[in-house]
Structure 1
Amino acid sequence: MHPPSLPSSSSRGVIITRPEPGLGETASAIARAGWEPVLAPALHVQACAVGHLPRRPAALLLTSGQAVGVAAKNVSLSVPVFAVGDRTAQKARAAGFVTVCSAGGNAQALVRLVVGNGTPEQGTLLLFSGAGQGVDLAASLRNHGFSVVRRVAYRAEGVVEFPASVVQALQMERIAAILFFSARSAQSWLNAVPDGRILAQVMALRAVVMSDVVAQALHQAGWRGPVMVAASPDAPAMLAALEALRT
């Protein structure tokens, strides 16, 4: 990995590939830090109508903040919530859920949290996740004896059109860095980049990523610029890594 070079004073643009919900919040935080947010979400997130749900689940499991809104509309706010991370937990509390615990990490940490704080005899666990996600989590909990009902709360589709604002910012050499929050969003975003000079410019950018998995996805795609991995898999750590470019 190459050491990150300092952005010039005129290059303060930061491309944000995070989809909503979360894109606007991250953009505001980046603007407050003195950067210029360039909005270019990699995915379009669509909420889904959920099917039949347990009448009174023992607990609600949330693997993403993108599932919180759907959960709040379909589940009693008195049901205890186990969230994959602190940001998802914060969103669940803001939505009105009364009892919320954060695993502070990933799906494996969420399994440990649930196993350490409940028993299969307490009842069914309700898992809200994105399409194609949460399957391994549900299987792991079932291996521990828990009954798990999994429902798809949202679908995320890759964007097709590459934003003209990004092309313009690249042409004017205004971009200091790009943020990638997941391997899937990184792959989707890169698939939309036009071939030629724009692609070459993108691949040479400084990237700040959520985890080693995302960094690996970039390198497999042929990324040539420096890649900084956040100290922990959350948005505040991503912003801290971005700020390290100033020092």
Structure 2
Amino acid sequence: MPTPGTSPGVLVTRPEPGLSETLAAVSAAGWVAYASPALCITPHSLRALPHHFAACVLTSGQAVQAAQASLPPTCPVYAVGDRTAQRAQSAGFTAVQSARGDAEALAALIIRTLTPESGPLLLLSGARQGMELADRLRQAGFRVVRRVAYTARPARQIAPDVLCALRAGEISHSLFFSSESAVSWLAALPEAYRDAACRTTAIVISQAAAAVLEKAGWTHCVVAEKPTAQAMLAALGVCPAGRILRSSD
């Protein structure tokens, strides 16, 4: 990783799984990557499942662990995006399809390729998440069993090295992967560092996340073309070669 101060820094607020690979991708593009996960993820063990399911629906890669522990590898999996699909394949699932988008794209893929007569669907999501997707599928005639696969708690504090980099003007961009992450990270940010954070360019996964940051005082938010980590990294781009970031920039 480059030495802080020699290249612009990028704040990565994504939790694991996903944080490490994003840090690596940011560093490979020439930026200085700062880890500052906004959420702490706690996996859940699922209680006994009452059905044989036509498919498992995953709204996040964080739900893969619960799916792996509860379902046979032959169960078809519908994943919200490519990275979630790849994690499901790495976990041993043999029939995985990616919606390459958001919950709306995931619902459309399922409705297009399955019928309600195929059997019930198991929807695995985080606490307080996935309800709209479940409702959409039920309106289309599907029977949906929703289970909470993990809980996401707000981070309580931000690492001192991140705060020091913000104060020194060494972070030029910030990546936010959900509106929930934006809310949680801002809640953990000491007020004395708010202005420095708001001067960074925020790259966000959705307009909802942008709205959270703009309300907090962010002056420049870029919404990724697609609601995926790959699109966010594309919006970040390669670090300008040889640029030295100073606090006056």
TM-score, normalized by length of structure 1? 0.91
Correspondent of 1:56 among 52, 58, 71:
52
1:102-117 matches, within 5 Å, as 102-117=98-113
1:68-217 matches, within 5 Å, as 68-196=64-192, 198-217=193-212
Q: Could you say if the C-alpha distance between residues 231 and 19 of structure 1 is closer, same or farther in structure 2, counting changes exceeding 3 Å? A: same
Match of 1:6 in 2: none
- Identify the range of structure 1 (9-18 vs 121-130) with the bigger mean alpha-carbon deviation: 9-18
**How many angstroms does 1:244 deviate by?**
6.4
Q: Where has structure 1 moved over 3 Å in runs of 4 or more?
A: 244-247
The letter for the 2-side match of 1:193 is L
Deviations 1:160-215 (A, max 9, x none): 1121111111233211211111111001101111112x111111111111122211
The letter for the 2-side match of 1:47 is P
| Percent sequence identity over aligned pairs | 47
Deviations 1:12-43 (A, max 9, x none): 21110000110001001111111111110000
Match of 1:233 in 2: 227
8 Å contact from structure 1 (residues 54, 126) kept in 2: no
The letter for the 1-side match of 2:18 is G
8 Å contact from structure 1 (residues 54, 124) kept in 2: no
RMSD over equivalenced CA pairs, Å: 1.5
**How many angstroms does 1:222 deviate by?**
2.1
**How many angstroms does 1:50 deviate by?**
1.1
**How many angstroms does 1:238 deviate by?**
0.9
8 Å contact from structure 2 (residues 29, 239) kept in 1: no
Q: Distance in 2 between matches of 1:171 and 1:215?
A: 22
8 Å contact from structure 1 (residues 177, 205) kept in 2: yes
Instruction: Name stretches of at least 5 consecutive residues in structure 1 with no aligned partner.
Output: 1-8
Q: Distance in 1 between matches of 2:143 and 2:17?
A: 30
Q: Distance in 1 between matches of 2:240 and 2:28?
A: 15
**How many angstroms does 1:110 deviate by?**
1.2
Paired residue total: 237
